Structure 1
């Protein structure tokens, strides 16, 4: 069996996708009245210090991990690179959100992207060790909680990739009047991981473009990309 993932980009044929790790960093302090900060240890301020250092230091470490696979068009690096983003900040369970209360716990949500070839277990160990060392250095009581860890994937069947390139050229000629097929790997993750783990040759092509307001208000796809995708699937199945 061979697999085509449709949850993918429309401006290149995808031969891989990034791994995804998500979770929380919990920062504990000593709560109290905001008028008496000297009697407290503010976990919100500690969280800000920790995230600032992680952005300055660990983000550089992540970016130093480079894939053998090309990045999508208009990326800041020619090859897919490691990334980390801090996406959520909230108080711990049961904390009262009031301006005059210093809480006892603050929680930071993170999303870490692995290059397609990267082992998720090793990536987790590296990140947790770094957070622990940095927390000790800063005098912060922090711990990492992993919610999910999905490794990336990459195409292993060159013949399948070449067949897909030929099919996409035919589909592009028929629908958009050109045949310049770009080949790269996704910066996002998708279900290709599960087929990759089973040894099934996998590629991806879809209708997603960077200007489609991905994961935000007004998300959409272009009809012309759906037409191209339909023709590509037909050509791939009959190639």
Structure 2
């Protein structure tokens, strides 16, 4: 049945209105309020799920216990503007020129949120599905992400709310809209290592215990170790040494401490636990060999995961191909996203725009792509509820 009186939601106009909200993490900036008003008007049940100063929005159309429930996930927070003088367009102006909409968040990811909100509203107005559509939108994806999508999922579990499958609308395409779907992500963890010896005069090294040669040995061991050679869906895991520092400007002092930081991006051959154990054993070996003390702080940003190719990735890939003519690659490349949390709730894949200008000065989005993305999301909903 069709409700033809409904005027379709313009995803570019909605993107522009969202970009004008200065929602730099963790500020809400009016973005979630704007979405809540739009979705409520369209018959969605909306609930603000704010936690520890982070603003989040849950919206559902249809019954809570519906036989099938399709979910979208995204964020309205944006990274800081940086040097505003370097921008040629106002970062929160949402100016439209040369077929592009300009502003912070235009690509990452207010356009994605606008596209799936517009698709969901049109879908329930024109072809009300036998089921539920759930939108989970956070204001803390670019920050620590402890009280964003995690808070929404915690709240959903406590309320008996659920998504059977979920599509995260992050930018996923390297070159052209349609060229890539993310079916998983590598895990990420960082380690801050301090080696402590004994400070002394560089003319009398035997009276000191220099932590620098120990750190040099350790960093070489870590950096030259092959973690794995890749798995079915993942490239090889990587370890990058990102900092070595003693804070010592002099030449006649052997410092007491040396610090190093490493970041590991790991595939599904590893867990953060087994990598932590390996890291600690390497540090202990070198510490005892050089007679220095060690202190380590580890932060895990997320475990690796993969949603094996199947019904959900096919659903998305078929819709992408139908609207763009491109058969997308199924990939696990890139950094982390909130899909790492959603995967504990239901099967999840990611599909969105070309991400080239995200986090850059003069961030912008191709207007034609935003319309096309809405059409892809709309087709996904139509096919899912068919």
Q: TM-score, normalized by length of structure 1?
A: 0.75
Equivalences for residues 219-238 of structure 1 within 5 A: 220=363, 223=366, 226-227=369-370, 228-238=372-382
1:46 to 206, 211, 214: 214
* Alpha carbons 1:9, 1:186 under 8 Å: kept: no
Change (3 A) 1:47 1:222: farther
* CA shift for structure 1 position 16: 0.5
Q: Are residues 1:99 and 2:250 paired?
A: yes
Q: Specify the alignment match of 1:166 in structure 2.
A: 318
Residue by residue, what CA displacement relative to the aligned partner does 1:89-129 show, whole Å, maximum 9, x if unpaired? 234xxxx6432343211111111112146332222222222
Q: Specify the alignment match of 2:48 in structure 1.
A: none
* Alpha carbons 2:209, 2:292 under 8 Å: kept: no
Equivalences for residues 66-77 of structure 1 within 5 A: 66-69=230-233
* Alpha carbons 2:244, 2:261 under 8 Å: kept: yes
* Alpha carbons 2:317, 2:327 under 8 Å: kept: no
Q: Specify the alignment match of 2:166 in structure 1.
A: 3
Q: Specify the alignment match of 1:151 in structure 2.
A: 303
Deviates more, 1:18-27 or 1:134-143: 134-143
Q: Which runs of 5+ in 1 are unaligned?
A: 70-78, 174-178
Q: Specify the alignment match of 1:192 in structure 2.
A: 339
Residue by residue, what CA displacement relative to the aligned partner does 1:120-152 show, whole Å, maximum 9, x if unpaired? 222222222233234434554334321225211
Residues in 2 aligned to 1:187 and 1:107: alpha-carbon distance in whole angstroms: 27
Q: TM-score, normalized by length of structure 2?
A: 0.49
Residue by residue, what CA displacement relative to the aligned partner does 1:145-198 show, whole Å, maximum 9, x if unpaired? 21225211211571111100011112323xxxxx13211112422211211122
* Alpha carbons 1:7, 1:208 under 8 Å: kept: no
> Could you say what secondary structure the match of 2:231 adopts?
strand
Q: Considering only aligned residues, what root-mean-square deviation do their CA atoms show, in Å?
A: 2.9
- Kindly indicate whether structure 1 or structure 2 has the higher relative contact order, using CA contacts under 8 Å at least 6 residues apart: 1
1:126 to 273, 278, 281: 278
Q: Specify the alignment match of 1:206 in structure 2.
A: 352
1:26 to 184, 188, 194: 194
Change (3 A) 1:194 1:33: same
Residue by residue, what CA displacement relative to the aligned partner does 1:176-230 show, whole Å, maximum 9, x if unpaired? xxx13211112422211211122x0100123455xx4777x65856537953544
Deviates more, 1:136-145 or 1:7-16: 136-145
Bigger CA radius of gyration = 2
Change (3 A) 1:165 1:151: same
